[in-house]
Amino acid sequence: MPYFDAASSAPLHPVARQALLAALDEGWADPSRLYREGRRARLLLDAAREAAAEAVGCRPDELVFTPSGTRAVHDGIAGALAGRRRAGRHLIVSAVEHSSVLHAASAHEADGGTVTEVPVDRTGRIAPGAYAAALREAPGAVALACLQSANHEVGTVQPVAEAAEECAAADVPLLVDAAQSLGWGPVEGNWSLLTASAHKWGGPAGVGLLAVRKGVRFRTVQPADERESGRSPGFENLPAIVAAAASLRAVRAEAAAEAERLRGLVERIRARVPELVPDVEVVGDPERRLPHLVTFSCLYVDGEALLHELDRAEFSVSSGSSCTSSTLTPSHVLRAMGVLSEGNVRVSLPRGTAEADVDRFLEALPGVVAGVRERLGAPKPAESEAEAAADPDPEPEPELVVDSLGKRCPIPVIELAKVIGEVPVGGVVTVLADDEAARLDIPAWCEMRGQTYEGERPAEGGVAYRVRRRA
């Protein structure tokens, strides 16, 4: 069964498996002890730290291992904010950061700090000079800025080097979440702190990296002990750490060739999906992106149903659609980008993905999407517009109201599509909906179908979205 969700967790690399098994035999002792077994464990830990530091591009004494990438993010942000508390209490993040960063930002606000979210464009990328502007316009002195190296949902690569220069000019440290990109190469630029997670590059779960450059003011918030420079207390999971470092070195050695191969497969998906499936939006930067990841959204499709059907067809993929989430709200990344969220599919290819598996996916996808649309009663491509043109109503209603309260997307969008031909060109359809996804999906539908979105207003029980027929 093809596994296309490496952005969530990559399969264990063979080198990681070998290193893990060897370290279970050799690295079980306490590396802080002076007897033979302890010294042997210490040698393994030091070697792993040196290998990881080389891959990160920092000194070994600047890097510590944490129990997860999320813990590395939380400890990194909390430690940098605590170390620079006298300098200021303002935090800058991008609107598309990983949830671990945004949760840390929320905790900072709850503790009395302030936060600026830097917006992104429709490709998910921050604008040149965006962090310089955020630094200038901050309501108070800035303690820390955060920017991911590449987005986990759409693959867009951020201009970290430029943002780091802007932060350095303002004497503000920049923390980079490199979880998605570190396996493909080092993070360029003058960053101050960096975090990563081993299971994203084929290492074992339960190992994170936190690098803090010398000279960065940092104070550990949690109770410290003598391990990992006091920044990550508790007994090290040495076998997992050894495996994480070994696999990082291995994937880096393969990165250039594998990136070129996977980029070709992703280009095929990006090009073929809109040709094979009507009413699809491929999202993310088409050029400045990770080599193995592509995301697209399908109109008139329930994301949860789509993922289930793809699973039945033996393809494991992920989604940012609200209907695959327990919160019933669309992905914050898709929301920040302002793109279609319904029927969202993220394909992230692990190393070694076969070309034949991608071809099978492209063969299966059109039928799967068509089947989901048919069950939901979605109009066929351009059906309503074509029927309206062929058999126009002599006296169409100038304005219609579609009551979709209590219905989850994509139903409000489907109902809009079915009636748009019942108003004349220049007429208005008002959709009443209480599903948060409608705020993204109705404007996205208008852009894809050549209609005019006129905005929203509060309505009893939900929101009224106005669409004027232009085509």
Cα distance between the two ends of the chain: 43
183: nearest Cα among 89, 358, 56: 56
The CA distance from 344 to 277, in Å, is: 13
What is the DSSP pairing of strand 142-148 with strand 174-177? parallel
Can you read off the two tokens belonging to residue 221? 């918030």
Can you read off the two tokens belonging to residue 74? 């939380």
Which one is catalytic: 146, 167, 323, 409? 323
Can you read off the two tokens belonging to residue 451? 């209609």
Backbone angles phi, psi at 434, to 5 degrees: -120, 10
Q: How many CB atoms neighbour CB 185 within 10 A?
A: 15
Contact criterion met (CB below 8 Å) for 467 and 425 = no
The CA distance from 356 to 344, in Å, is: 23
Can you read off the two tokens belonging to residue 196? 């990563």
| 323 a catalytic residue | yes
Can you read off the two tokens belonging to residue 468? 């004027």
Contact criterion met (CB below 8 Å) for 417 and 441 = no
Question: Which region holds residue 457: left if phi is over 0, alpha if psi is between -120 and 50, else beta?
Answer: beta
Cis bond before residue 410 (omega within 30° of 0): yes
The CA distance from 75 to 66, in Å, is: 9
The CA distance from 102 to 95, in Å, is: 8
Q: Spell out the alpha helix ranges (H) of 129-237.
A: 130-137, 160-169
The CA distance from 49 to 26, in Å, is: 17
Residues recognised as catalytic: 323
